[in-house]
């Protein structure tokens, strides 16, 4: 069958977006891995599926699959692309869009300039919600990683995140320490690993090693997690610019129990079709 798709990116974090409202397809993990290959397929960090909602108060269901074929709970950069996609494809005329995800519901708002503001929901810190195997809640967990002691914060933004402070992201061990923390036994569903450099109380630099993908040019939920971690430890103010290799996101958080608000761009690259 012929499958229509759109290639999009949010600050270089790239996606294959597929409308499963007006067309039908079954994409298993093997097929997703083939499509994700940058030499033999389309090439992407994540596959985003637009599906009809299962609840009457939601506009769409939003599903996310990593390049390795694993389904994940949330993706902030993908959420912005999702919002632009359903508007561009005329699946909705609304600029406030409510979507279901495996990690909770999101509210997406598309501004006239095309930037998208996403209510990412409230972060969760209980180890069982992350999930993380730990005796109790903390913002300074220590891990033994192959004999090396690593101190980190951990929380959920609908998906699991570890945040590690570094003096400089330019020299951070993203590609060496990142995969070892991602697959550490204390994270039963693996974890996204953020390396954060605090520049000022309103600005951080960040690199993220994403589970099932590797290092990406940007990670929306990773930016949210890093800012939340910094705010709750007294390092940051409530409104912070996060500079990632692919560009900058604006993150706001008013404190425990409040939603994290992420604002940033979403870009269409091209439309295509492929036989599957």
Q: What is the C-alpha to C-alpha distance for residues 193 and 177, in angstroms, rounded to an integer?
A: 9
Per residue in 213-266, pLDDT (tens digit) is 999 999 999 999 999 999 999 999 999 999 999 999 999 999 999 999 999 999
Tally of domains within the chain: 2
Q: Are 215 and 192 in contact (CB under 8 A)?
A: no
pLDDT at site 1: 86
The CATH number for 69's domain is: 3.10.310.10
Round to whole Å and give the CA distance between 160 and 201: 24
| Per-residue model confidence as pLDDT tens digits over 92-128 | 999 999 999 998 899 999 998 989 999 999 999 999 9
Report helix, strand or coil for 230. Answer: helix
Residues 22 and 93 in one domain: yes
43 is in an annotated binding site: no
Same domain, 90 and 68: yes
The stretch 124-146 carries a mean pLDDT of: 96
The vertex-16 CA angle with 10 and 18, nearest 5°, equals 120
> What pLDDT score does 230 carry?
98
Q: Pick from 100, 160, 157, 165: which is nearest to 131 by CA?
A: 160
Catalytic residues: 75, 219
Question: What global pTM score does this model have?
Answer: 0.92
Question: Residues 18, 109: one domain?
Answer: yes
Was 34 annotated as part of a binding site?
no
* Cα 183–Cα 46–Cα 30 angle in degrees, nearest 5: 80
Q: Which domain holds residue 225?
A: 127-258
Asked whether residue 77 is marked as a ligand-binding residue, the answer is yes
Q: How far apart are CA 145 and CA 164, in angstroms?
A: 13
**Same domain, yes or no, for 150 and 246?**
yes
Whether residue 153 sits in one domain with residue 240: yes
**% of the chain residues with pLDDT over 70:** 100
Same domain (yes/no): 70, 134: no
């Amino acid at each position: 069958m012929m499958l229509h798709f759109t290639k999009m990116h949010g600050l270089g974090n790239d996606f294959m977006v597929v409308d499963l409202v007006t067309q039908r397809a079954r994409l298993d993990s093997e097929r997703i891995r083939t499509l994700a290959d940058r030499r033999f397929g389309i090439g992407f960090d994540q596959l985003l599926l637009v599906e009809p909602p299962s609840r009457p108060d939601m506009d769409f269901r939003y599903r996310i699959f990593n390049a390795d074929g694993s389904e994940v709970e949330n993706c902030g950069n993908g959420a912005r692309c999702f919002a632009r996609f359903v508007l561009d494809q005329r699946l909705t005329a609304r600029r406030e869009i409510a979507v279901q995800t495996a990690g909770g519901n999101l509210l997406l708002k598309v501004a006239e300039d095309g930037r998208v503001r996403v209510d990412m929901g409230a972060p969760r810190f209980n180890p069982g919600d992350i999930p993380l195997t730990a005796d109790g809640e903390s913002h300074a967990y220590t891990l033994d990683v192959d004999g090396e002691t690593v101190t980190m914060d951990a929380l959920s933004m609908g998906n699991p995140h570890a945040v590690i402070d570094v003096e400089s992201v330019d020299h951070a061990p993203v590609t060496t320490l990142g995969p070892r923390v991602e697959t550490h036994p204390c994270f039963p569903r693996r974890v996204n690993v953020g390396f954060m450099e605090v520049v000022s109380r309103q600005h951080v630099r960040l690199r993220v090693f994403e589970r099932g993908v590797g290092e990406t040019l940007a990670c929306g939920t990773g930016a949210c997690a890093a800012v939340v971690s910094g705010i709750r430890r007294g390092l940051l103010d409530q409104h912070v610019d996060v500079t990632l290799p692919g560009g900058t996101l604006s993150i706001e958080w008013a404190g425990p129990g409040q939603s994290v608000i992420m604002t940033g761009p979403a870009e269409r690259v091209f439309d295509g079709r492929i036989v599957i």
